[in-house]
Every structure is written in C-alpha cells, then in structure tokens.
Structure 1
Amino acid sequence: ADDMGLGKTIQGVGVAELLAREAGISRVLVICPTSLKSQWKNEIHKFSDRTAQLVMGKADDRAAQYENDAFFTICNYEQVLRDIMPIETARWDLIILDEGQRIKNWEAQTTRVVKSLKSQFALVLSGTPLENRLDELYSVVQFVDGRHLGPGFRFFNRYRITDDKGYVLGYRNLHELRKQLQPILLRRTRDMVMKDLPPRNTQIIHIPPTEEQRFLHSANAKIIASITRKAFISEMDLLKLRQALMMCRMVADSTYLVDKQGPGYSTKLQTLDELFEQLFVEGDHKAVIFSEWTRMLDLIEPLLKKRKVQFVRLEGKIPQSKRQQIVNEFQSDPKCKVFLSTNAGSTGLNLQAADTIVNVDLPWNPAVLEQRIARAHRMGQKRPVNVFILVTEETLEEQLLTTIGQKKELAMAALDYESDISEVDLQSGMDVLKAKLEILLGALPEGHRDESLKREKEVEATRLVERREKMADAGGQLLTAAFGFLSQMLPDSGTAPSTETVTQLRQQLTEAAETDEQGQKSLKINLPSEDALTQFAEALAKLLALRPAT
C-alpha cells in the first residue's frame, strides 16, 4: 500500500520472483485495469526473465490463454467478470490485484467475483486501499485474508462512530486497527522517500462562475436539498438525486455539458486558455490534463489546436491495444506537449515526461485526485511538478475541496504506523451530506470506467457467484443432515455427552468458522489434497446410504 508513484508494479514482480524461488510457484494471475496491462508486461520483461502473456481476443481464445504455461498471465477486471469459468478452472499459485481499490465495495459484482477466486498466495497493490470509508479497507483486506479483521459486524462496531440512525459520524480505536494491520500491510509514504522525489507545488485556482452556471447550479442544488430533507426516499427520488448531483458537477465546468448550447463558453475554459499561454507559449512544459467528462475534453481540444499545441487523448472507449501507443507517444515525442485524459488514465500510468498536472475539475472521490497527480510525480521524475486545481466558486466543487484534508487524515490514521491519531471526526456539513448520499446511492459517481464492460456479462458473473453460494448452502445442509444421522446411529452409551465437552468442541468450531456482514456462519476446512475431498465425499455418501428409507 505504498503511496502512488513509488514503484508498486516492480514490487509485485519482485514478490512473484521471490515466491518462485522460495515456494516453487509457477503460475501467477495479474488482474489490473485495462490501461495498465501493457505496462505490466513491459515491467516484467524489464525486471524479470519470466514469460508473460496478455489475455486478449475472443472468448475461446481467452479461455485457452488461461490454461497455457506462461508464468505471468495478465488480464483486466472486466475480463474476470466475463471469463470467470476458465479462470476458476485454471490453477493459480499467486493472484495479484493491481489498483486493488477496485474491490472496495463488497456488494459490487466485480468484488464478489474477484473474491471467489482461489490461490495459495494473494497480493493486493493499491496506493489508496482506503479512499472514503473504513468499509473499503475491510473489503480489500478480505481478499488477502478473509479472517484477519474478523466478522464485519464486529469490525464496524469496534471502529465506527454512528448516530441513532446509523450514519457514520467518525472513526475510533484507529491505533488498534494500525496494529492489527501490521502483519499484512506494507506502506511507505512519499514523505519517507521525499529525498528521492523532486518538489511538488500545488496551486488552487478559484474561478467565478458565469450567470448561466450560477442559475443551473442553484436549480439542481435545490433539488438535492429538497430530496435529502425527506423522511422517505423513493426510487424516483434517488434517480433525481443522482441526476442533480451530476448536473451540479458538470455545470461547474461548463453549461455546455448540460444543455449542449453553443458556444460552450465558461470562465473555466477562459482560465484554461490563459494557462495554456503560460505553459506552452511562454514556457516549455509537458502537461497531463484531467477531466471527469469526455465532453469537456471536446471543449478543450479547440483551445489546444488554436495554439498549435500537439496532444494525445485517452478515455475509456480507447481499446487496450492502442493505449500503450498513446502513452509512448507522449513520453517519447518532444513535440507532443499534452496528454488529455478522463479518469481512465488516472491510475497506474507512468507519465514522468510531464512536469505539470492540470485538474480541470475535482473528482467525487478525493483519492482519485492523488492518483491523477501521481502519474507525473512518481519515481523516475527528475523535475519539479506543478499541480493546478481549477475550482469554480459557489459550486459543489468548493465543498468537495474541503473534504480532501479530512479523507487524507482518515487514510493516514488507519494505515500509517507512525500516526498518533486514534479518532477521526467527519461531522462537517458536507461529510454528513455525503454519508447520507453514500448510504442512499451506494457508490456515487466517480467518472466513467471503461465502457467495454457489458451488462449481460455482469449478470452472468453474478449468477455464477450466486450458484456457488447456493451450492455452499446445500453443502452445509448436507453436512448437518449427515452429522445428525450419525449422532442417531452411534450406539447409546446410556449417558449424554458432558456439557463441558460439547462446549469445548463448539468453541473450537466457532473459532474455525467465519461470520459475514449479515451474521451468516460458514466453516472453512483446509484439506491436505484432492484425494481427501474424494474420501470426504465417499464417507458422507456411506452415511447417507445407511439412512432408513421413509
């Protein structure tokens, strides 16, 4: 869980190499965002002599690729949803999750499917395992060791501060959590290695809105306020709330994003144009420019073309096969001055050729802001990095800006061993509102993910997970019936087993059992070999065969 830009990919390759030498592993599955697949293969070839393959092509081709003998097999999260059956069939010694915060929401389909994968060893790489709430950290840790943090209900009761309605007001006992995480968490911050990184300068540019922006933002803010004050929130209210939040954030960039009425003028675009004059005419800089919205990138492109600034553009719809070409062009071509990107380029990419990061807008999730900045301010950067954050006054962006410090405080308190923070208070007006919205809406908008993810594949993957859960339930019922019948078949000694013996055995079983967030019990049994599973099934079958017909 090192900070962004400190070389986690290389560490992942190193862990796999170490386990190959010490534990004899030979099959590694790397799951990462689509935009990082080629980068993973390049890093493996640079620092290891192991074979590596990218999973690509049609379904039949991909299924065969999971079975071949390459040491590293590299796929993306969307492929795990589509290819769950061949992935489960293959044998994996080590599974590496890169940008592991993608499984932060335990109710998400991606999380459920990824957590169903089995391997002898597991490694999660993430600069932000905790982005907003402790719930996310709990979900990520479960992939490494499902029992390390204990049952969910006990974890949350210990570390959350809530009001009578269940809203999270803060977190407590974080000194205990840091100690609990030490055996499984390795974290180095930028401050620890700052001597190896050049300075980073951040400038927040406050921009007054146009009258049109004020009017549209105010109208949507009133919708948000009216809905959040309601005692009962209907499905229609949720749709209106989500839409109004999106509108507020888009209007802060330009009213064109909402109504598509030309000429698309906004004071933010005017400020950008002036900044481009400073960066590319008066100076000689290379910049990465981020926006949540592809339509905003459409408005920025003419400003660059007007000044004859050469640029490349990355967004979710760009196929994986072309993404590395875009990165290579920006990194190696001195004439290419700008890397335009949505949040599809905010994680994992190495863009050290840039010495400037421009955040046209603020993401809903403050951790994404750090991920953006870390594209340039990372190991290998030789020049000071300038960061510009454009914030439209009197809008939701100003309120989002105030939450950044608090979210950093929570992450530091939970993850950094040297922290002396034991409690974090989240009771600012914006945080209470966000807590309510997050409970109502689940994961709020964080920008567009890769558009290649198909809804039918999600449904198919969910069905597979649910089928396994039903089979697990049926297995539990089978064991219960078998042990109940065995109890009846054993010769009666005339005396009941001692209460003390039953209590001791039950305590041992309780310690071996796991309890999920809903309080459901499950018993995990480690078997020495595949033959043991067959013997276990045969023994149960014999017990059931003895059962008298009814």
Structure 2
Amino acid sequence: MSFHSTKIHLWELGGRDVSEHEPSANIQADDIETVLENGGSSGLSQHLLNVESRRLGIAQGEQELLAVEEIKDRIKLLDHQLNAAHRALFRMGSGALFADEVGLGKTIEIGMVLKEMDFRETHHSFLVLTPAQLAPQWQKELKNKFGLEFVCNYDDEFSGFDAHDKIVASVDTAKMSGSREEVLSRRWDVLVLDEAHYVRNRDTIRYELIDTIDYGQAFFATATPIQNDITDLYNIINLVRPGLLGTKDEFERRFVADKETSQIKNADELQKRLQPVMIRNRREETKIDFTNRRVQTNTFEPSASEQKLYESVTDFVRSSYSSANARHLVMLTLEKEVVSSPRAVDGTISRWLERDDHSISRSERNQLSAIRETIDSIDTTTKQKRLSNILGSLDDQVEETQAVVFTQFRPTQQEIAEQVRREGYTAHIVNGDLSSRGKERVVGEFKSEGGVLIATDSISEGRNLQFCNVMVNYDLPWNPMKVEQRIGRIDRIGQDREVFVFNLALEGTVEEHVLDKLYGKINLFNQSIGGLREILSRMEKSGSDFEREVFERLRSADDAVELENNFEEMAVDLEENKEAAEKMDDFNKSVFDNFEFTGGEA
C-alpha cells in the first residue's frame, strides 16, 4: 500500500496532510477553530491546525478562480475548461481524473489548476510526469499560457528531482534507478500524470512508482480511462483517490457483471462513486464549433518502372523471408519502403549488399542488384508529382503555403525536402535525430516562416500543429492508429480552419489493400483515437501486432486472388473488433451518460 493512502484529507483546494485518523472529507475551518479552542484535544498538532485553519479559510472564503485575471491576455479559456478547473479545485478534494474526450484541452484545465494554486501560494512543490515526447510541450505551455516556470528533466540546468520544486519530467525517466530514489525521497504538494491510461496495469513499474510517491494532491489526465477492461478504471482511480472504490474484489463483486465482456451492474451507484473524482467533457456537450475534416484519398497508377520495382521487391521478400532470424524485420521494412520511395529501398539494399559476412546467398545478391538497376531507372516518382500538384493548388488558394508532410522513412524525407526546395518552398525537417528542444525549434520556425514541414512519426503524437490545416500522408502506416495520431496534430482544439488531409497511395500495392479493406472497414477517418485503440486492442492483446499481421497476409499470398481473400479475412476480423468496441462504448455510456462531470458554473 502506498504511503499516501493512509493520510487524512484536510481540505484546502483539496489538500491533505498526515494523520493517524481515518480519512474524512468533512473537516471544515470552523471545526479546526473548535479544536484549537479546546486545546487541540483531537491529537493533531497545534501548528498543523493553525496552518490548516488558515488554508481552509482562504479556500472557503474565495471559491473563485482568482488567477484568471492574470492570464486573460495569454490564453482564451473556454467555459468547459474553467468549469473543470473550478470543480477540481473546490469540489473534488485530494485530486481529480480529467477524462475529457480527445482534443478538448485537458492540459489547459490542469494548467489552470496549477496556476491557481501557485497564485494563492498554497502549494509549492509540483511534479508533472508525462510521456517522454510530451514533457517539453508541457513545460512550454505552462510557461507561455500560465506564466509558470517549470524545469524539464531534459534541460541542461536540471539538477535532479530533489533540487527543484516545479518539475516536468518523463515518467520513464522518473522510474529509473537513481531518479526514482530522488522522486520518492520527498513529499510533493501536487502530482500530475498525463496519459494516465499507461498506468492502468497494476503489475508495471510505472504503476508501482506512482503508487509509492508521497504527494498531497493528484491530477491525472486521460481521454480513455477504460480501454479493454473495467478494472482499468479501478486501477487509475485507486491511484488518484485510494480506497474510493473499495478493494478490487469488492469493486468487481459490486460493479462487474461479467469479467469476460466487462458488463457492468449497479451503474447508478458507480456513477455516484465516481462523481467526487472524475471530470469528463464530451465534444457534443461543449460550445466549441469544431471545423470540418476533409480527407482526400486517391490511388494513383504507378509508372511501369515503379510497378516493376514493387513486384521485384515483393517477389524477393516472399522468396527470401525467414522468421527464424532477424531477417523478417528487414523484409517488413522493404515492403513499406517500396511504396514510399525508391530511395528508401535503395538505402536498405545498399547496406545489405555492402555486408561481407555471407548473410545473403549469391542468388539473393543477384536479385538485389537487379532491384537497384530498376531503382536507377526511376527519375521522378508518381508521388513526387502528386505532392507537387497539391502544393501548387495551395499556392493558388492562400498567400503563404503551409503544409505538413508525413513519411516513415528518412531517405524519403530527404527526397521530399530536396523536391520542395527546388520548387521554391522552405523545407523544415523533423525526425528522431532531433532532441525534444530541437523539434520545438523547428516547429517554431515552420510556424513563423511557412513552407513545408517534412516529418517522421517522431512528432505524430502529442505535438500541437493546429496553426497549420493541411496534411499530406506521403506514405501510409499500416497501423490506422498512427494515421489518426498524425491527423490529430492539426485537427484539434484551436484549429479555426477546415482541415485538409491528402493520402497518397499507389494502385495495385499493399497501400491500396490497406486503404480499401482495412481503413474502410473501420471507417478510419471518422474514428477517434479512443475508438481506434479499442478496435485494435484485441489484435494487440493477443500478441499479434497489427503491422506484422498485414505483412504476413501480404507475404503468404500465392496470387492476387489469395491476397484479396487474405485482406478480406483481416477486414472481417476488424469488423468484429469494431462491433466489440461499440459494445464497449455502450458500456462506457452506461457508466458515464447523465453524469455531472463538470458540475456547475465556475
């Protein structure tokens, strides 16, 4: 059991302190004054009671957001965000789970909570834990939008978790040996955890770390508190508010009707239990006028040389594939590269041919050499021409062209950059070689200078690019989750223009099958991240990686008819998963519908 689960809840903006007594949410300022008059007969120290009396007096006397005036010129706070922050501060005690749907600004809501605490000077030590790629963004938003100076664990001036009072850090850094000891060596007034669904499993080091941290208040954020199992919700809530839902056995006995299907019972009672700890806004319940998303997906006929290259690579993969060693990873990469760009394929083949360890046979070497000859015969690709058309059409419609182009491969990225520069555009490149700070710098330059941002999936999750409204998927990840994560960079709150997404795919290739059979079956471009995660969860949970499954279906087909049948079977599986996900959505609604998530007006 974690240390913080044994503490009494003494409320001021939900604060809590150490006591031998049972937790209570009913201690008021008048109660403490009475205890003081009686000489502290409750056993609490005189000093503690004086402190809590003062803090509770502040909270009860000023239950309004005082810091709004200070930041009104920095950020426009929406009604649902103000209501969420107000409820978390004044009505939810020792912490809250912010469970708004994707794109509604959970970071802003928590930022407002932290700003109010800092403004009132009631809390002094703050630890914000996030996925690694989001830590610099959290730091930047807290500074630019709320005037809060946090040090990030990636900063040069970061001296350890025991050396600063306001820290944004990667949760995986915090759990590492050395860092973990520093995190656990002190008490934090406030703990923030972003993407809290990553700690839904009690058997992970992440969960154990969060459960062990000594903190006063906890604010967690996730759009998907329930993913595969109702116990996901239990585990997360038990970190935010230990004991609120009882023991796990008690929770399952009272609220779970069927473990296999996560069917719920006593939904009304569960809603009542969640009321003091969960805040959830839905898109349709807000007053936000979300812009339209227009997705244009066209398949283009490859040139004769491109078709020959695709067939040669696919034949090589089928004839040379072996799952007995690491070779299958190279084969999978080749199948992805061949529909991205000839240059991407050439890079992989060249590295293979340059090896002198006899890892490939003479026959394979001859096949690879023939593939390189085909690559040399290709001057300009079909996708290059289509990208040029898209950028040219933008020039005709807007004063300054600004578009994000996503690709999975560095050689393709370089090829695109060279092309857009030749055509007179500024090219900005972001990939995994850049540090988080470097990515922030390049994105900032793209925002101010315009042009084309050519990015790999190293920024497909968590980065805010809503100042741009045009995206090109130069090559398509086989996993639909990655596609939606890309689109989510520009189609999010703060986007005030129509969003245009262009998907480039070659006819007669795996891209066409993925688009037609798989993306179409789950209606990808109308799905949310949460919905996709639920649809794909069965494949992931069974140990069958989605992309690996696509590859196996492609590799094992002996002819075009069998290939069609293989993808049709996979589409049927996805359809079944979609139906299961819809049942889970119905289950979520049975818990969350008619739920007073954000409470009254701020």
**Shorter-normalised TM-score: what interval?**
0.5 to 0.7
What residue in structure 2 maps to residue 44 of structure 1?
142
What residue in structure 2 maps to residue 88 of structure 1?
184
Aligned with 2:542: secondary structure? helix
What residue in structure 2 maps to residue 272 of structure 1?
387
Structure 1 residue 345, shift from structure 2 partner: 1.6
Residues 1:141 and 1:441: Cα distance change in structure 2 (over 3 Å): farther
- Aligned match for 1:316, one of 432, 456, 480: 432
Equivalent residues of 1:285, 1:355 under 8 A apart: no
* One-letter identity of the residue aligned with 2:279: L
* One-letter identity of the residue aligned with 1:188: N
Equivalent residues of 2:406, 2:475 under 8 A apart: yes
Structure 1 residue 200, shift from structure 2 partner: 2.1
- Aligned match for 1:123, one of 213, 219, 228: 219
Equivalent residues of 2:471, 2:501 under 8 A apart: yes
What residue in structure 2 maps to residue 546 of structure 1?
none
Partners of 1:377 and 1:194 in 2: how far apart?
17
What residue in structure 2 maps to residue 202 of structure 1?
295
Partners of 1:296 and 1:286 in 2: how far apart?
19
Partners of 2:149 and 2:405 in 1: how far apart?
35
Structure 1 residue 255, shift from structure 2 partner: 4.5
Structure 1 residue 103, shift from structure 2 partner: 5.0
Equivalent residues of 1:80, 1:114 under 8 A apart: no
Residues 1:94 and 1:73: Cα distance change in structure 2 (over 3 Å): same
1:373 is aligned to 2:487: yes
Aligned residues: 405
TM-score, with structure 1 as normaliser: 0.60
Partners of 1:444 and 1:116 in 2: how far apart?
36
**Pairs within 5 Å for 1:200-349:** 200-208=293-301, 210-211=306-307, 212-217=309-314, 220=317, 236-237=323-324, 239=326, 242-260=329-347, 261=372, 262=375, 266-280=381-395, 283=398, 284-333=400-449, 336-349=450-463
RMSD: 4.6
Residues 1:67 and 1:248: Cα distance change in structure 2 (over 3 Å): same
* One-letter identity of the residue aligned with 2:215: S
Equivalent residues of 1:247, 1:258 under 8 A apart: yes
What residue in structure 2 maps to residue 67 of structure 1?
162
Partners of 1:272 and 1:131 in 2: how far apart?
37
Aligned with 1:253: secondary structure? coil
What residue in structure 1 maps to residue 170 of structure 2?
76
What residue in structure 2 maps to residue 53 of structure 1?
151
Partners of 1:259 and 1:373 in 2: how far apart?
29
TM-score, with structure 2 as normaliser: 0.55
Structure 1 residue 354, shift from structure 2 partner: 0.8
Q: Which moved more, 1:301-310 or 1:193-202?
A: 193-202
Aligned with 1:93: secondary structure? strand
Aligned with 2:446: secondary structure? helix
- Structure 1 vs Structure 2: percent identity of aligned residues? 21
What residue in structure 2 maps to residue 9 of structure 1?
107
Residues 1:409 and 1:302: Cα distance change in structure 2 (over 3 Å): closer
Partners of 2:249 and 2:331 in 1: how far apart?
37
Q: Which has the higher contact order (CA 8 A, sep 6+)?
A: 1
Aligned with 2:219: secondary structure? strand
Any stretches of 5+ residues in structure 1 without a counterpart? 162-170, 228-235, 416-423, 446-550
Equivalent residues of 1:28, 1:92 under 8 A apart: yes
Aligned with 1:349: secondary structure? coil
- Deviations along 1:287-323, one digit per CA (max 9) or x if unpaired, are 1222233332122112211211112122222123333
Q: Which moved more, 1:238-247 or 1:77-86?
A: 238-247
Partners of 1:414 and 1:257 in 2: how far apart?
29
Partners of 1:130 and 1:350 in 2: how far apart?
25
Equivalent residues of 1:196, 1:379 under 8 A apart: no
Q: Which moved more, 1:320-329 or 1:248-257?
A: 248-257
1:440 is aligned to 2:440: no
* One-letter identity of the residue aligned with 2:184: E
Aligned with 2:279: secondary structure? coil
Partners of 2:207 and 2:263 in 1: how far apart?
27
Residues 1:16 and 1:278: Cα distance change in structure 2 (over 3 Å): same
What residue in structure 1 maps to residue 31 of structure 2?
none
